[in-house]
Chains A and B, each alone.
Chain A
Amino acid sequence: ETGVTQTPRHLVMGMTNKKSLKCEQHLGHNAMYWYKQSAKKPLELMFVYSLEERVENNSVPSRFSPECPNSSHLFLHLHTLQPEDSALYLCASSGSPGTSGGPGDTQYFGPGTRLTVL
């Protein structure tokens, strides 16, 4: 596997389900991100992890819960979602090993998970 991978690629869930999205980066980066892309809206930043430490984004509802167990893996736990949460969820990574990263670091995106909430 190379680059940034995400599983599953497609997910359909009911409003009462609990599911998790997984992201793995094989680039040796130290920062990872979750973005949401809805139809006719710009990509929205949800969460940032730098050296496995989370930087909160207070505008994200608590039904989305991120987890970063190490610098290569990132999860997004989903529970009691709403139909308006249906979107493409993109993971990205950036930075160089051993650093906390910087504003100039290029972010590389995974293929995304297409989520549909019924």
Chain B
Amino acid sequence: QKEVEQNSGPLSVPEGAIASLNCTYSDRVSQSFFWYRQYSGKSPELIMSIYSNGDKEDGRFTAQLNKASQYVSLLIRDSQPSDSATYLCAVNTQMYSGGGADGLTFGKGTHLIIQP
């Protein structure tokens, strides 16, 4: 059973501070890693994707990947109240050996609260 684990939280962070979200995954052959943000009652929206070991930065967001440790993280700098949401970690799940589109395996999500 391929799994993605996240701390469900809630994670409470003061406004302006750095929020750090973590995720581990079980499938060593996974190649693609995604962070989605989901507001209550809404559908997930992509924040970051990462495919290679190391850091990837996009504005206030930095994704970090360590395939040896099977670990992915998301840092949010200068946290804003609008960042309060559930953050979902997702990993590609190869459905069949012929290649092509993969489904995603999601973690349960981390509920982040930014305190004004």
* A residues at B contact (CB < 8 Å): 30-31, 33, 40-45, 48-51, 55, 57, 90, 94-95, 100-112
Q: What 7 additional pairs, Cβ within 8 angstroms, besides A31-B100, A48-B101, A106-B46?
A: A41-B108, A43-B88, A43-B90, A45-B104, A103-B32, A103-B94, A107-B104
Q: Once the chains bind, are B99 and A43 in contact (CB under 8 Å)?
A: no
Interface size class of B (residues with CB under 8 A): 20 to 34
B contact patch SS:
loop
- Specify which chain B residues have a CB less than 8 angstroms from the CB of A33 in the assembled complex: 101, 103
- Specify which chain B residues have a CB less than 8 angstroms from the CB of A108 in the assembled complex: 46
* B residues at A contact (CB < 8 Å): 4, 31-32, 34, 42-46, 49, 51, 88, 90, 92-96, 99-109
Q: Once the chains bind, are A102 and B100 in contact (CB under 8 Å)?
A: yes
Contact of B43 among A31, A44, A110 (CB under 8 A): A110
- Specify which chain A residues have a CB less than 8 angstroms from the CB of B102 in the assembled complex: 48, 101-103, 105
Number of A-B contacts (CB under 8 A): 79
A contact patch SS:
loop
Q: List 11 A-B contacts (CB under 8 A).
A: A31-B100, A33-B101, A41-B108, A42-B109, A43-B88, A50-B100, A94-B101, A101-B101, A104-B31, A109-B45, A111-B43
Contact of A109 among B44, B94, B100, B103 (CB under 8 A): B44
